[in-house]
Amino acid sequence: MTAIADTEEQLSKALQEISAWEQDQKDIWFWEKLGRLPFMLLDKLTPRFIQQKLGKLLKKWATTYKMAANISYQRKACSNT
């Protein structure tokens, strides 16, 4: 494994690029925060146990979906051989 040493010039250039990106993002920030407001309110108003139940339900659904996709892929692979 080789280590890559960044020069001071490369690091300062990267910092300038990041600073420019941050300046570009300042205009978007307000609208992003405004767009997140309904979700923050929903999060505050929904009881914790309902959030936990929904989380478990979504996790179980995602697991089932992933298993079904794997089975479908395996069947497709078997039928192609």
Per-residue pLDDT tens digits of the chain, which is 81 residues long: 445 667 888 999 999 999 988 887 776 667 777 787 888 888 888 888 988 999 999 999 999 999 999 988 888 878 776
Q: Is residue 9 part of a domain?
A: no
Global pTM value = 0.42
Q: Is residue 75 part of a domain?
A: yes
Amino acid, res. 7 = T
Q: Is residue 23 part of a domain?
A: no
Q: Is residue 81 part of a domain?
A: yes
- Could you tell me the residue range of the domain that residue 70 belongs to? 47-81
Q: Is residue 79 part of a domain?
A: yes
Look at the block and give the residue holding tokens 């497709």.
76
The domain total for the chain is 1
Q: How far is CA 13 from CA 3, 5, 23, 26, 51, in A?
A: 20, 15, 15, 20, 44
Q: Is residue 11 part of a domain?
A: no
Q: Is residue 41 part of a domain?
A: no
Q: Is residue 73 part of a domain?
A: yes
How far apart are the C-alpha atoms of 51 and 44, rounded to whole Å? 10
Query: Would you report the helix, strand and coil content of the chain in percent, each value rounded to 5?
Result: 90, 0, 10
